[in-house]
Structure 1
Amino acid sequence: MKKSIYILFLLFMVSVIQAQTLFEKGFYVDNIGNKVEGLIKNIDWKNNPTEFEFKYNENEESQIISINNAKEFVVDGKSKYIRAKVDIDRSSSITKDLSNNKLPVFKNETLFLKNIVEGKANLFLYEDNNLVRFFFSTDQLPIEQLVYKPFLITNDKVSYNIAYKQQILNNLKCDKITLRQIENLDYFSKDLISIFLEYNKCILGDDYINHSESSVKRKKININLRLGVSLNNISLNNSLNGFTTEFNKTIGFRIGSELEFVLPFNNNKWAILTEPTFNTFSSDSKNALTTTSVKYSSIDLGVGIRHYFFLPDKSKFYGNFSYNYAILTSGSIDFSNYAPELDISGNGNFSLGIGYKRNKFSIEILQSFNRSIISNYAFWGSDFSSTSLIVGYTIF
């Protein structure tokens, strides 16, 4: 059964990867100013790219366009990146790595900057793992970094260079923007987008572009109610006297509430999961010596990761991998005429699932791998695994 699950999972991964619609309409501008239209592989980049994949049409082979060969590229209705040679400060913001130098340490680099707001004043974003930097330009000023830098005053006291507020005050002059607004600005996308939009609206009316609105709207949290049945496999052994038994495969029931955090990149394809699940089952095993009975109820706390594969009809396949820790609510192993009963204990295991979701409904096959359900005895051992069929409904 487990081998079948592995094969099914591999076939699933191959088929859904092939079914992905990866390329979207867009264009890039080459070094001599030509606009080259075609299809761009939209990865919804978490980190600013240094290259992108492009093809002229669906039937053509794709090619890699590096930052050296494109002044800008656009995925229609989704994102715009421009090439710029800028001074960037890569000083760490992690407390243990801070220096006592309040001034930015600039290095000149050629980067693709994500254009967030486009108008008389432009706002750009650059991300590289934990590094987040904003840049801006105006019709009178080339692109420069908005400076924000934490630094150490003493070994345990941190202060902040917030020069970005002065930069905005000096260059975004409008009667509708107050000093108080600028003083209250945090170095976050939401705050900076808001002030740049307000400035452009003040100067240009509606003649500006808010590229942040073009991004796919992301619902960051889903709550899924999940009900299922499980086919459970249990074996028991004693290394001292050679006793072994396998219990009859039994059907158990599970109910859980899954909290799904959709990650804000890669087109909503990745999510972090956490799910408390109540499981219960019972089974018997008979041999010449004794009848063995097991009763088991637990709350499993699962944490894992999920990847979605979107289909053209707006439905999606997914695969997930989780670690689960069982908190025992009740359980024991009893022998009719052999030894005292054994207490069951909670332990952890891994699980692998594949599923399909359409609108708010989902169905999933979940393989939970072996874990021991008795661990407090020197000579007793056990294996417990299960295969579950789960139906889900997104309530939020």
Structure 2
Amino acid sequence: MKIKLLFLLTIILSFNGYSQISFENGYYIDNNNQKINCLIKNLDWENNPTQFTYKLIENSKSNKKTIKSVKEFGIHNSLKYVRSAVNIDRTSKYVGELDNEKKAVFQEEELFLKVLVEGKSTLYSYVDSNLTRYFYSIGKSNIKQLVFKSYITPEYKVGVNNRFRNQLWNDLKCSDIKKNRVKNLKYRKSDLVNFFVAYNSCTNQEYINFEEKQKKDLFNLTIRPRLNSSSLASNYRNTNIENELGFGFGIEAEFILPFNKNKWSLLIEPTYQSFMVEKSNDGSLNDVDANYTSIEFQAGARHYLFLNDKSKIFINASLLVYDLISNDSQFDSLKIRTSYNVGFGFGLKYNDRYSIECRYQGHRPMLLSTDSDLDFEWASKYKTLSIIFGYSLF
């Protein structure tokens, strides 16, 4: 069983090279201010890029352009990056790496900045691993960083330089924007995007909110009934129960990670399952009665491989973090305890609504004991192969 599943997973993973992170209609502007329409490979960058891959036409060879040769590039109606030499403060946000200097410590760098809101006032972002900085410009003025810096005070406490609020209040004044709004601004994308949208609206200027254009469905709640084929082997009475059919029902909460074209997600799924059997073993006169009912709590990660606009293959791995066993669960007169367990699955999702998955929950240690003899436990192993049907509510 393990070899077959490993083989299938290997095939699916190998298909990843053909899965869609597609080339989309875009453009770039070179150092001679020439605009070239092309197809750009949209990687939905989590960190600001220093290069990108493009094709001049659909069937042509792909090439790369770097920050040295491109002033600007974008994907139509989706995203835009501009090259700029800016002063950036790279002070860490981690307490153990903070200095005692309240002022931002700038260094000049040439970067691709991502345009978040473009208008009379424009908001940009720069992300590099754990570093996030925001920049702004007004009209054709130079791009400046919105200053936010943590530091260690003389009292050995963490202080915060929120100069970005003064910058916005001084440079982006409008009658509809009150001082309290600026005073309560957080140095985060959602607050700053909303502020720049409000300012451009207040001044009756046309603007483009790229973040609004890129809004994605970042949460799915899916009901997941399933058919289980379970097996139990134990040294108790030489038990060997194979491929016993049962049913289960789960509710999966999926949190889509907002980068890399929505190809990664985190999962939490409570699942009701039951395993009930009455069966003779090896011609014995005694029957083995199994009644194992529980709510399993699993957490995991999923990776999508896009086939087309409506269909995508996925693979996932999960960890059984807790098993809430019903009080009625027992194996003959023995009480049941289980342990952590890892599962693997692969499946198909259609139209972001319907899905089917095959999941293998590997050998799980199941310990059997009586209430009067807890020092002795019968060793057992329990495993399940499931076919899971899914319907996403939203």
TM-score normalized with structure 1 length: 0.90
1:327 to 320, 324, 327: 324
Asked if the contact 1:126–1:132 (Cα under 8 Å) also holds between the matched residues in 2, the reply is yes
Q: Is 1:248 the equivalent of 2:242?
A: yes
Give runs of aligned pairs for residues 196-345 of structure 1, distance below 5 A: 196-203=196-203, 205-215=204-214, 217-237=215-235, 244-283=238-277, 284-288=279-283, 291-325=287-321, 326-329=323-326, 330-334=328-332, 341-345=333-337
Q: Which moved more, 1:190-199 or 1:258-267?
A: 190-199
State how far apart, in whole Å, the 2-side matches of 1:244 and 1:37 are: 71
Give 2:356's aligned residue: 363
State how far apart, in whole Å, the 1-side matches of 2:309 and 2:182 are: 45
Give 1:136's aligned residue: 136
SS in 2 for 1:193: helix
SS in 1 for 2:217: coil
- How much does 1:16 deviate? 5.7
1:309 partner amino acid: L
- How much does 1:282 deviate? 2.1
Give 2:372's aligned residue: none
- How much does 1:149 deviate? 1.1
Aligned residue pair count: 384
Give 2:338's aligned residue: 346
Encode CA deviations 1:156-205: one digit per residue, 9 max, x unaligned.
632211111111122223333332332222212222222222333344x3
- How much does 1:133 deviate? 0.6
2:378 to 365, 380, 396: 380
- Structure 1 outlier segments of 4+, above 6 Å: none
Cα 1:332–1:154 shift into 2, 3 Å: farther
Give 1:338's aligned residue: none
Give 2:391's aligned residue: 393
Asked if the contact 2:331–2:368 (Cα under 8 Å) also holds between the matched residues in 1, the reply is no
2:292 partner amino acid: Y
Cα 1:378–1:99 shift into 2, 3 Å: farther
Q: Is 1:73 the equivalent of 2:65?
A: no
1:345 partner amino acid: R
* Aligned-residue RMSD, C-alpha: 2.2
Q: Which moved more, 1:226-235 or 1:63-72?
A: 63-72
Give runs of aligned pairs for residues 136-215 of structure 1, distance below 5 A: 136-139=136-139, 141-153=141-153, 157-203=157-203, 205-215=204-214
- How much does 1:46 deviate? 1.2
- How much does 1:115 deviate? 0.7
State how far apart, in whole Å, the 1-side matches of 2:161 and 2:330 are: 62
SS in 2 for 1:345: strand
SS in 1 for 2:54: strand
Is there any run of 5+ residues in structure 2 with no aligned partner, and where? Answer: 370-374
Give runs of aligned pairs for residues 98-109 of structure 1, distance below 5 A: 98-109=98-109
- How much does 1:19 deviate? 4.1
Asked if the contact 2:50–2:111 (Cα under 8 Å) also holds between the matched residues in 1, the reply is yes
2:242 partner amino acid: N
- How much does 1:294 deviate? 2.5
Asked if the contact 1:100–1:152 (Cα under 8 Å) also holds between the matched residues in 2, the reply is yes
- How much does 1:288 deviate? 4.7
State how far apart, in whole Å, the 2-side matches of 1:162 and 1:110 are: 24
State how far apart, in whole Å, the 1-side matches of 2:157 and 2:290 are: 58
Residue identity over aligned pairs, in percent, reads: 38
